[in-house]
Amino acid sequence: MSSIQAIRGTRDILPSESPLWAKIEEIARQTLASYAYREIRTPIFEQTELFARGIGEATDAVGKEMYSFEDRGGRSIALRPEITAGLVRAFIQNKLFAQGGVQRLWHLGPAFRYERPQAGRQRQFHQLDVEILGSRDARADVEIIAIATQILTCLGLQSLSLDLNSVGSGEDRQTYREALVAYFTPYKEDLDADSQTRLTLNPLRILDSKDKRTQEIVIDAPSLLDYLSDDSQRHFDAVQQHLTNVGISFNINPRLVRGLDYYTHTAFEIQSTDLGAQATVCGGGRYDGLVAQLGGPDTSAIGFGMGIERLIILLEQINRYSTVPELDIYLISRGEKAELQSAQLANRLRQNGYSVEVDLSGSAFGKQFKRADRSGALIGLILGDAEAAANKVQVKWLASGEQSEMTQDDLIAQADDIKSKIAQARH
């Protein structure tokens, strides 16, 4: 019988990789706590309408890539293609705005898009989503960008670049949109098929096209930056000034338009040259209209989504974090009395702060030793019936082979000393 395979575009995160995930989560949590952000957890599926209304049918994520289906009760449901819309729904539904002032929120979890799977692009992927709601101040934009930058830097990632743009207000974009359509229409036949459709649906997205010929045409297209109102320009200037002030360098990229419709003013992306075609690790921007559009009070907001799988690819390249489990003790026992006692000893050791893996095989000592060597533990403890009768144990430092006999009580009493020796051996 053939075995069942995982769904195309999904992957298992195996124990050899999961320490990297834990590291990302640890650094994200620390950084976010230091900026006073609080975690929120929202469902991975929502009413399809939330995404249609919030993100927009004209986007790839909703129009072409969304996993939507009817549930058994005939409701139209969708797996979330991104996290912001659900988070804003929760903000409104739970009246988090009523707490007044600014809400700083984050969430890490899976999102789903029906895309062509390739390196750094999956159908189930994970995002760290960070949002600040309730501030129009340029310092909020800079706080969000600084958090993204800090997480990446703390992880040890280099060769990253920050692209920055302003997509203006909805009104600025309306005028710009007309200028774009006027510019692209004479070239319509030369544009790639997607861009031809976008010409009527979402002309800004043509700027984002990865098609070579389209990109050539885009070079001379009017720049959005020439269509910013005074207000929008002021905000954009302030963001740049504050970024410079906190020492974050950036490139202005007037072609940067984010895939999702709800963005206003600031748009940014962080890319790495070490990622190949899927270079964008983090994308974000301001979305002053979304909360109201989803039925909440008028609320300015800005946030980002960071792609965890792409981060993992980068972390594997820099090879800075060990994925070997940090195990203190591998406990070997053989004989009826010894095996009985080993469970008690292991528990005493764990209560005293050691991590302990117990060999359950009952096989010859030689075989158990081989497994001890492979386990990554620093100490092998050997308990035979003779040791068990005397409440003793053989302590073997696996790297050097140095071995001595100790009472089990001494092993516990000297736990602090032994653990510091373990820590030294490890680093």
Query: Residue 282 or 411: which CB sits closer to ligand ATP?
Result: 282
Is 305 among the residues that bind ligand ATP (CB under 6 A)?
yes
For ligand ATP, the binding residues in 403-422 under the rule CB under 6 A are none
Residue 411 to residues 192, 204, 369, 396, 418, Cα–Cα distance (Å) = 71, 68, 20, 12, 8
Candidates 168, 289, 307, 380: give the one binding ligand ATP (CB under 6 A).
Answer: 307
Per-residue contact flags (x/-) with ligand ATP for residues 211 to 250, judged by CB under 6 A: ----------------------------------------
280 near ligand ATP (CB under 6 A): yes
Please, what is the minimum distance in Å from the beta carbon of residue 5 to ligand ATP?
19
CB 229 within 8 A of CB 171: yes
Segment contacting ligand ATP by CB under 6 A, of 88-96, 281-289, 392-400, 411-419: 281-289
Task: Indicate the DSSP class of residue 12.
Answer: -
The residues, ordered by sequence, that sit 6+ positions from 129 with a Cβ below 8 Å of its Cβ are: 82, 83, 84, 87, 106, 107, 108, 303, 304, 305, 306
The answer to whether 113 contacts ligand ATP (rule: CB under 6 A) is yes
Residue 283 in contact with ligand ATP, rule: CB under 6 A = yes
Looking at beta carbons, which residue is closest to ligand ATP? Answer: 307
The nearest distance, CB 94 to ligand ATP, in angstroms, is: 24
Looking at the Cβ atoms of 129 and 387, the one nearer to ligand ATP is 129
| Position 271 contacts ligand ATP (CB under 6 A) | no
User: Is position 86 an interface residue for ligand ATP (rule: CB under 6 A)?
Assistant: no
Cβ closest to ligand ATP, residue 86 vs residue 380:
86
Q: Residue 268 forms beta bridges with which residues? A: 164, 284
Q: How far is the CB of 370 from ligand ATP (least distance, A)?
A: 40
Comparison of 65 and 137: residue with beta carbon closer to ligand ATP: 65
What does the DSSP assignment read for 19-53?
HHHHHHHHHHHHHHHHTT-EE----SEEEHHHHHH
180 contacts ligand ATP (rule: CB under 6 A):
no
| CB of 150 or CB of 341, closer to ligand ATP | 150
* Distance (Å, whole) CA 82 – CA 257: 17
Chain center to CA of 269: 14
Distance of alpha carbon 168 from alpha carbon 159, whole angstroms: 29
Among 31, 48, 68, 122, binds ligand ATP (CB under 6 A): 122
The values of phi and psi at residue 6, to 5°, are -65, 155
Q: Check binding of 80 to ligand ATP (CB under 6 A).
A: no
Site for ligand ATP contains 303 (CB under 6 A) = no
Q: Which phi and psi angles does 37 have, rounded to 5°?
A: -90, 145
283-309 exposure pattern, b = at least 16 Cβ within 10 A, e = fewer: bbbbbbbbbeebebeebbbbbbbbbbb
Of the ranges 117-125, 171-179, 220-228, 295-303, which one interacts with ligand ATP (CB under 6 A)? 117-125
Smaller CB distance to ligand ATP: residue 122 or 240?
122
Contact, 193 vs 160, CB < 8 A? no
CB of 285 to ligand ATP, least distance (A): 9
163 binds ligand ATP (CB under 6 A): no
Pick the binder of ligand ATP from 131, 143, 309, 387 (CB under 6 A): 309
Select the span of 29-37, 112-120, 315-323, 331-339 touching ligand ATP (CB under 6 A). Answer: 112-120
Q: Per rule CB under 6 A, is residue 275 in the interface with ligand ATP?
A: no
Check residue 259 for interaction with ligand ATP (CB under 6 A).
Answer: yes
State the DSSP H helix or E strand holding residue 190, giving kind and residue range, or none if neither. Answer: none
Give 249: exposed, middle or buried? Use CB within 10 Å, 0-12, 13-18, 19+: exposed
Instruction: Candidates 57, 115, 137, 339: give the one binding ligand ATP (CB under 6 A).
Output: 115
The stretch near ligand ATP (CB under 6 A) out of 23-31, 182-190, 275-283, 346-354 is: 275-283
- Amino acid identity, residue 132? I
Please return the burial class of 422, using the count of CB atoms within 10 Å of its CB with bins 0-12, 13-18 and 19+: buried
Residue 169 identity (one-letter amino acid): S
Alpha helices in 246-364 (DSSP H): 290-293, 308-318, 336-351
Question: What residues make contact with ligand ATP under the rule CB under 6 A?
Answer: 61, 82, 113, 115, 120-122, 125, 127, 258-259, 278, 280-283, 305, 307, 309-310
